[in-house]
Structures are given as structure tokens and as C-alpha cells.
Structure 1
Amino acid sequence: MEGKANKPILERLGNFVGHNNKLGKAITGYAKYREANQIATHFSRYLLPVVATTEAMKAQSYQIRHNVYCEELKLEAERSNKQETDEFDSYSIPCLIQHVSTKTMAGTVRMVRPTTPEQLLPIEKYCLNAISHSPLLPTRFSRDNICEISRLAIPAQFRRRSMDKFAGAQLGGLNPETFSQTELRCFPFIAVGLYLTAAALIIKHDIEHVYVMVEPRLAKNMRLVGIKFKQIGPVIDYHGPRAAHHIDLQSLKHGLSAGFAAMRDDIITKLSVDDDDS
């Protein structure tokens, strides 16, 4: 009885009337619509998408990357300035997610956008031989029609969902008690929010071909929300097991599930993507 009582009223009503009739379908449709809005509302209540348009904001992105890639994962050498940067940052747009109540940055990713022939994507410079699906080689397309999403980094304190596993929170000067249980349940959306923030820029700039070197597990998780990365090469050892993936502009515009499409649209609105952020 307790389990039934805890089920949402709409779910119980739908189960009662069935799902293969007009009333059942209407109930299911309304439930999905409400769930879609709840996802977007829940994210926007606690987390804010940000595009780094100033040097100070970019520095925050590079500091997060240093904390994760250099200090925590030991994938890159530590830098004296505590900022992890490379040659691609000169033609990249960093995106961040800010925790609203503390104003702390909860994660970052960048969109690498070449504009001249000599500017390569990271995947072109380091992993071109890992792309076995030749029709989608980035070299087949014009420079202004390709980009790469890379350097996803989320600080440890925002990857924890329970108070008793809040290791590393002190690195950001945060107290575990700062976050409510409701906020902690929202934190798994940070990676999705970062990808959707990059997607907002991609949609704005009408970039047709998007590349990412990513763990197959993360690509699978992104597909569950409708970010349908297509694997275009075998898994290789590149900072761990990763594979080249591709997604096109139309998939970013029309492929998302209802809840995350609403979240994407809310992010687009918040970014005011009509502003010049490049």
C-alpha cells in the first residue's frame, strides 16, 4: 500500500484506465508534458548556464580544468598558474554552469571552433586515425561548418549526491550543508546542461557537424536524453577508453526528448543567444 501511495496520482490514474485508449493516452501525454517542464524548471532553479565572454570568466573555466585534469585525474601536468590551457583555447568558446545560490562554477566544457585552414580540431590533430567512418571525417567539411565539444570538467564537490561522500568539497571552499538534498538530486544534470549550453551555441552559429572524443558510457547516457552521438570509430586509449563520435545540427535541434528539449530552450533563452558571444 505504501508503494502505491507514493506513486504520482497521474501514474496511478493512467494505470487504472489503461494506456491504449484516448483517456489513457491523454493522461500519458500530459504527464510527459508536466515532467518536461519539471526538468527544465528544476535545473534552472539551482543552476545557471554561462558563456565565458571575459578573460576572468575564461580563467574560471581553465581553473576547473586544472583542478580536474591536472590535480585530480593526473592526466595533464600541473601548471604554476593553476590554469589548464592549450593551443585550441585561442579559438574556443568556454561554457560553464554556475550554482545559483553560491555563485560557484559547477562545471565547464568548451566548443572548439576553427575558422582558418591551419586551425584544427583536437580530434584532427591527435585522433584522426581513430575515425574509421570516412564520410564523416572533419577534413571533408569547411572549417566554419565543424566544431568539437571537449574538455568537459565537473569539480568533485558537484559530482557527489550524498552528504557523507562529499570528499574534496573544501577545495572549492564549500560546506556540504550548503546544498539541499533537492539540489544534490539536480547535480547529475550538470553534464547534460554543459552539453546543452554548447548545443545552444552550435544552433546559434548553424554549425552542421559536431565532434567529441568521449567514453562510450557517457555517449550512451547522452543518447538517453536525446543527444544522439554516433560512434564513428573504435574505442582507443586516449586519456582512458574513448571513441570518436559525431552529431549533426538537426539532431541537436529536433532529437531531444521532451524534458531536455525544454531544458535546452530554457538555456537558449538564458544565454540570450542573439548577443554576440563569439
Structure 2
Amino acid sequence: MFYYKRIPRTDERIHEVYMLRYKVYCDEWKFENPEDHPGGVEIDEYDEHSSHFAVIRKDSDEMIGTTRIIFCSDRGFPLEGHAEIDQGALEGIDRELVGEVSRLAVSKDYRRRYVDKVMFEFREYDENYERQTKAERRKVDQEIVLNLYSCIYRECIEKKMTHLIAVMADGLYLLLKRIGIVFSKIGPSIDYHGPRTPYICCIDTTMQHLQKKHPEIYKRFTSMEP
């Protein structure tokens, strides 16, 4: 159904990454001011210090999801400017080996197909069908996130990174936890595009957890095939 890939900034498809981010962050959720992002692309000062990843439909080659890892630079990490970090949370960790997961976006047009399916493919309320549709939605959400985090893991291994940080909504945190990717809270929740909480993930600890509790996902992450 999907494949995933790293999108270098020299790749012509990086424009699609920025366009998808614009649709989600500017048009759909209004998190960013469209006037600050002319040309229908959402780009910021951290992109030049990031690796970008995409999930793409195999049948249409449509890019339907994206995220990035922001690496340590003289700009610091966005998380540090938006959230209050617990004292000592990052103590003893080499910042050069930390990356911030950021700008996770999934196409609204893609999601809408599943809404249409719920609305128009049955005439009467069917509780079993509703449960089945919710289960299908969760499965698709999980598949998209798994594809993106497979990319992220491979990038971390290549660059010998030890930790990931992120500011996340509860829903994403719980989805990752269900998959077996466990982040730990490192500060109080904040109001940043809605309730968000800062987290950290130790890559080695997470992979040990996956190997023990979620061997199929561990195998997927460590396989050389996408």
C-alpha cells in the first residue's frame, strides 16, 4: 500500500514535502500563517539542518505523509523555545547525538477518503461497521507512522544518534506507545497549537523494548528493505 523514503533537499520531491506541510499546517489546521509562507510551501529556518522523510502510495506515487529530524545546530531545537524542560532532563546527553522529530503531517485529502467511506458506503447505522471502520482507521494511522519512524530509526543508526525529542499531542504519544515506541515526559504540558507535551526517547532502550515486546515491528525497523 505504501513505501517510504528519505527525501534529500536536493531531490525535486522536497517541494512536495513543503507543499504537504503547507496544506496541513497552514490550510487545514491554521497553525502557521499562510502569509509567512508564500508560494504554497511551508519552510522554516530548521529545514537546512534536517533530514526529511515521506510516505508515498505505491499505486499512485502520491505523497501522503511526511516528517523530519532536526539536528543540533547553532539554532538549537524548536522544543527548547516552546516548552519548559525539566531541570536535568537532558543532562549527560550529547546534544550532537540528539534529534528533534518535527512537522509530522498527513494529507487531509487522503484522510477524507476514509471519511467518505464511513458516510456513504452504508445506509443504516451499523455499530459493528463503525467499530470495523475505526479499527481500519487506526490500522492505517499506525501504518503511516510506522513507515515514517522506520525512516527515522534508519537515519538515527546511520548518524549514530542516541536520543529523539519531540513535542506531541496525547493522541500521537498514545499511538506511538501502542506501536512500542515509548517516549518519556520531560516537562509540563503547554498550549502550543493545542495541548502539547515535551518528550524524549532513548533509541537503544526503545529498540530493546521492541525486540522483546513487538518483534515483528523490531524486525521491520532493522530490515534493510522498506
Q: TM-score range by the shorter chain?
A: 0.7 to 0.9
Is 1:85 aligned with 2:43?
A: yes
- With the length of structure 2 as denominator, give the TM-score of the two structures: 0.81
Aligned length: 202
SS of the equivalent of 2:64 reads strand
Aligned to 1:159: 111
- Aligned match for 2:95, one of 138, 143, 147: 143
Aligned to 1:66: 22
* Deviation of the 1:184 alpha carbon: 7.2
- Aligned match for 1:265, one of 187, 200, 222: 222
SS of the equivalent of 1:131 reads coil
Identity of aligned residues (%): 26
Distance 2:138 2:82 in 1: 36
Is 1:50 aligned with 2:13?
A: no
* Deviation of the 1:204 alpha carbon: 2.0
SS of the equivalent of 1:228 reads coil
- The one-letter code of the counterpart of 1:104 is E
Larger Rg over CA atoms: 1
- Aligned match for 2:70, one of 112, 119, 130: 112
- Aligned match for 2:155, one of 190, 201, 207: 201
Distance 1:159 1:204 in 2: 32
Tell whether the 8 Å contact from 2:164 to 2:203 is kept in structure 1 after alignment.
yes
- The one-letter code of the counterpart of 1:199 is Y
Q: What is the RMSD computed on CA atoms of the aligned residues? A: 2.2
SS of the equivalent of 2:154 reads helix
SS of the equivalent of 2:67 reads strand
- With the length of structure 1 as denominator, give the TM-score of the two structures: 0.67
- The one-letter code of the counterpart of 1:137 is L
Aligned to 1:21: none
Distance 1:162 1:70 in 2: 21
Deviations 1:225-275 (A, max 9, x none): 110011111111011100000001213422221232233234x433xxxxx
Distance 1:162 1:239 in 2: 24
Distance 1:164 1:261 in 2: 32
- Aligned match for 1:235, one of 169, 189, 199: 189
Distance 1:158 1:231 in 2: 31
Distance 1:165 1:144 in 2: 46
Is 1:125 aligned with 2:77?
A: no
* Deviation of the 1:126 alpha carbon: 2.7
Distance 1:187 1:217 in 2: 15
Aligned to 1:253: 207
Tell whether the 8 Å contact from 1:234 to 1:243 is kept in structure 2 after alignment.
yes
* Deviation of the 1:69 alpha carbon: 0.3
- The farther-off stretch of 56-65 and 154-163 is 154-163
* Deviation of the 1:165 alpha carbon: 5.4
Deviations 1:50-84 (A, max 9, x none): 10123422211111100000001111011221110
- The one-letter code of the counterpart of 2:169 is E
Distance 2:184 2:138 in 1: 28
Distance 2:25 2:201 in 1: 25
Considering fraction of residues, name the structure with more strand.
2
Aligned to 1:172: none
- The one-letter code of the counterpart of 2:15 is A
Tell whether the 8 Å contact from 2:82 to 2:192 is kept in structure 1 after alignment.
no
SS of the equivalent of 1:210 reads strand
